[in-house]
Homo-oligomer: A and B are copies of this chain.
Amino acid sequence: MMLKPIGIIHSTFKDPVGTPIQPVFAEGAQGTVEVFPKHADGLLNLAGFERIRLLYWFDRAGPARLRVVPFRDTVERGLFATRAPCRPNAIGLSCVRLLSISGNELKISGLDILDGTPLLDIKPYVPKFDAFPQSQAGWFDANNECRTKADDRFTIQ
Protein backbone atom coordinates (compact mmCIF):
# COMPACT_ATOMS: atom_id res chain seq x y z
CA MET A 1 0.00 0.00 0.00
CA MET A 2 1.86 3.00 -1.37
CA LEU A 3 0.60 6.56 -1.27
CA LYS A 4 1.32 9.25 -3.83
CA PRO A 5 0.52 12.90 -3.12
CA ILE A 6 -2.22 14.28 -5.37
CA GLY A 7 -1.42 17.86 -4.42
CA ILE A 8 0.00 20.24 -1.81
CA ILE A 9 -1.71 22.24 0.92
CA HIS A 10 -0.55 25.84 1.25
CA SER A 11 -1.17 27.64 4.54
CA THR A 12 0.31 30.42 6.66
CA PHE A 13 1.47 27.92 9.31
CA LYS A 14 5.16 27.14 8.90
CA ASP A 15 5.75 25.84 12.42
CA PRO A 16 3.64 23.33 14.39
CA VAL A 17 3.89 25.59 17.45
CA GLY A 18 0.86 27.89 17.31
CA THR A 19 -0.96 26.04 14.52
CA PRO A 20 -4.67 25.53 15.29
CA ILE A 21 -5.43 21.97 16.38
CA GLN A 22 -8.86 21.73 14.74
CA PRO A 23 -10.67 23.50 11.87
CA VAL A 24 -13.22 24.88 14.36
CA PHE A 25 -10.36 26.79 16.02
CA ALA A 26 -9.14 28.11 12.66
CA GLU A 27 -12.22 29.86 11.27
CA GLY A 28 -10.23 32.82 9.98
CA ALA A 29 -7.32 30.81 8.60
CA GLN A 30 -7.41 30.73 4.82
CA GLY A 31 -5.19 28.85 2.46
CA THR A 32 -5.15 26.99 -0.82
CA VAL A 33 -5.15 23.41 -1.91
CA GLU A 34 -3.16 22.87 -5.09
CA VAL A 35 -4.29 19.70 -6.86
CA PHE A 36 -1.70 18.47 -9.34
CA PRO A 37 -2.90 19.05 -12.94
CA LYS A 38 -3.10 15.32 -13.73
CA HIS A 39 -5.85 14.93 -11.10
CA ALA A 40 -7.65 18.26 -11.68
CA ASP A 41 -10.40 16.69 -13.78
CA GLY A 42 -11.62 14.92 -10.62
CA LEU A 43 -12.61 18.31 -9.13
CA LEU A 44 -15.67 18.56 -11.39
CA ASN A 45 -18.87 19.15 -9.33
CA LEU A 46 -16.96 19.89 -6.13
CA ALA A 47 -18.28 23.47 -6.20
CA GLY A 48 -21.59 23.37 -4.35
CA PHE A 49 -20.16 21.56 -1.34
CA GLU A 50 -19.81 23.90 1.61
CA ARG A 51 -17.31 21.65 3.33
CA ILE A 52 -14.83 19.09 2.12
CA ARG A 53 -12.64 16.61 3.95
CA LEU A 54 -8.95 16.72 3.21
CA LEU A 55 -6.87 13.62 3.84
CA TYR A 56 -3.18 14.39 4.07
CA TRP A 57 0.15 13.06 5.33
CA PHE A 58 1.50 14.33 8.67
CA ASP A 59 4.96 14.78 7.15
CA ARG A 60 6.47 16.50 10.18
CA ALA A 61 5.06 14.21 12.87
CA GLY A 62 7.44 12.32 15.11
CA PRO A 63 7.46 8.51 15.33
CA ALA A 64 4.25 6.69 16.28
CA ARG A 65 3.41 6.39 19.97
CA LEU A 66 0.54 4.35 21.43
CA ARG A 67 0.01 6.60 24.45
CA VAL A 68 -0.04 10.39 24.28
CA VAL A 69 -1.07 13.38 26.37
CA PRO A 70 -3.34 15.06 23.80
CA PHE A 71 -3.55 18.81 23.29
CA ARG A 72 -7.03 18.86 24.84
CA ASP A 73 -6.18 16.95 27.98
CA THR A 74 -3.64 16.74 30.79
CA VAL A 75 -3.38 12.96 31.18
CA GLU A 76 -2.15 10.14 28.97
CA ARG A 77 -4.70 8.60 26.57
CA GLY A 78 -4.61 5.74 24.08
CA LEU A 79 -3.52 7.09 20.69
CA PHE A 80 -6.65 5.84 18.87
CA ALA A 81 -8.84 7.79 21.32
CA THR A 82 -7.03 10.97 20.17
CA ARG A 83 -6.25 12.78 16.94
CA ALA A 84 -2.55 13.23 17.67
CA PRO A 85 -0.41 13.15 14.50
CA CYS A 86 2.15 10.55 15.68
CA ARG A 87 0.17 7.57 14.31
CA PRO A 88 1.28 4.21 12.81
CA ASN A 89 -0.18 5.49 9.51
CA ALA A 90 0.27 9.25 9.73
CA ILE A 91 -2.93 10.22 7.90
CA GLY A 92 -4.55 13.51 8.87
CA LEU A 93 -8.19 14.40 8.30
CA SER A 94 -9.65 17.92 8.35
CA CYS A 95 -13.14 19.06 7.42
CA VAL A 96 -12.56 22.53 5.99
CA ARG A 97 -14.78 25.15 4.39
CA LEU A 98 -14.58 25.36 0.59
CA LEU A 99 -14.66 29.00 -0.50
CA SER A 100 -13.99 28.79 -4.23
CA ILE A 101 -12.37 26.77 -6.99
CA SER A 102 -10.22 28.16 -9.77
CA GLY A 103 -8.79 25.56 -12.11
CA ASN A 104 -6.75 23.17 -9.99
CA GLU A 105 -6.70 25.46 -6.93
CA LEU A 106 -9.18 25.40 -4.08
CA LYS A 107 -9.46 28.34 -1.73
CA ILE A 108 -10.39 27.10 1.72
CA SER A 109 -10.81 28.30 5.30
CA GLY A 110 -10.69 26.56 8.64
CA LEU A 111 -7.19 25.45 7.93
CA ASP A 112 -5.38 23.59 10.74
CA ILE A 113 -2.67 22.19 8.46
CA LEU A 114 1.02 23.02 8.05
CA ASP A 115 2.24 24.72 4.89
CA GLY A 116 3.57 22.27 2.31
CA THR A 117 1.64 19.25 3.61
CA PRO A 118 1.15 16.50 0.98
CA LEU A 119 -2.51 16.04 0.00
CA LEU A 120 -3.75 12.44 -0.32
CA ASP A 121 -7.46 12.75 -1.05
CA ILE A 122 -10.50 15.03 -1.08
CA LYS A 123 -13.93 13.72 -0.08
CA PRO A 124 -17.15 15.76 0.00
CA TYR A 125 -18.82 16.40 3.37
CA VAL A 126 -22.43 15.21 3.32
CA PRO A 127 -24.36 15.94 6.55
CA LYS A 128 -26.93 13.19 6.09
CA PHE A 129 -24.08 10.66 6.11
CA ASP A 130 -21.48 12.45 8.26
CA ALA A 131 -23.14 14.60 10.96
CA PHE A 132 -23.98 12.95 14.28
CA PRO A 133 -24.39 15.98 16.56
CA GLN A 134 -25.60 14.00 19.60
CA SER A 135 -22.83 11.40 19.61
CA GLN A 136 -21.03 10.89 22.92
CA ALA A 137 -17.33 11.69 22.77
CA GLY A 138 -15.62 10.06 25.75
CA TRP A 139 -12.92 12.16 27.41
CA PHE A 140 -13.46 15.04 24.92
CA ASP A 141 -16.86 15.70 26.54
CA ALA A 142 -15.11 16.57 29.80
CA ASN A 143 -13.10 19.40 28.19
CA ASN A 144 -10.17 18.97 30.50
CA GLU A 145 -7.91 21.41 28.68
CA CYS A 146 -9.08 24.27 26.49
CA ARG A 147 -6.00 24.55 24.29
CA THR A 148 -6.77 25.54 20.67
CA LYS A 149 -3.23 25.71 19.26
CA ALA A 150 -0.47 23.16 19.01
CA ASP A 151 2.88 23.06 20.75
CA ASP A 152 5.83 20.89 19.68
CA ARG A 153 4.99 17.69 21.57
CA PHE A 154 4.28 15.61 18.43
CA THR A 155 6.88 17.11 16.10
CA ILE A 156 10.16 15.71 14.82
CA GLN A 157 12.76 17.20 17.19
How many Å from the CB of A137 to the closest CB on chain B?
Answer: 4
How many Å from the CB of A126 to the closest CB on chain B?
Answer: 4
Q: Does A51 lie at the interface of the complex (its beta carbon under 8 Å from any beta carbon of B)? A: yes
Known: A44-B77, A46-B80, A91-B91. 9 other contacts (CB 8 A): A6-B89, A24-B129, A44-B78, A46-B138, A48-B136, A49-B135, A50-B137, A124-B138, A125-B137
- Copies of the polypeptide in the assembly: 2
Q: Does A95 lie at the interface of the complex (its beta carbon under 8 Å from any beta carbon of B)? A: yes
Question: How many residues of A are counted as interface, with CB atoms below 8 angstroms from the partner's CB atoms?
Answer: 63
A47 and B138 alpha carbons, distance in the complex (Å): 7
List A residues 1-48 near B (Cβ within 8 Å): 1-6, 22-24, 35, 39, 41-48
9 pairs of A and B residues whose beta carbons are closest in the complex: A44-B78, A48-B138, A42-B79, A45-B81, A1-B3, A42-B66, A80-B122, A50-B136, A131-B133
How many Å from the CB of A107 to the closest CB on chain B?
Answer: 15
Q: Does A53 lie at the interface of the complex (its beta carbon under 8 Å from any beta carbon of B)? A: yes
Q: Are B39 and A93 interface neighbours, CB within 8 A?
A: no
A124 and B82 alpha carbons, distance in the complex (Å): 6
Q: Does A121 lie at the interface of the complex (its beta carbon under 8 Å from any beta carbon of B)? A: yes
Q: Are B81 and A49 interface neighbours, CB within 8 A?
A: yes
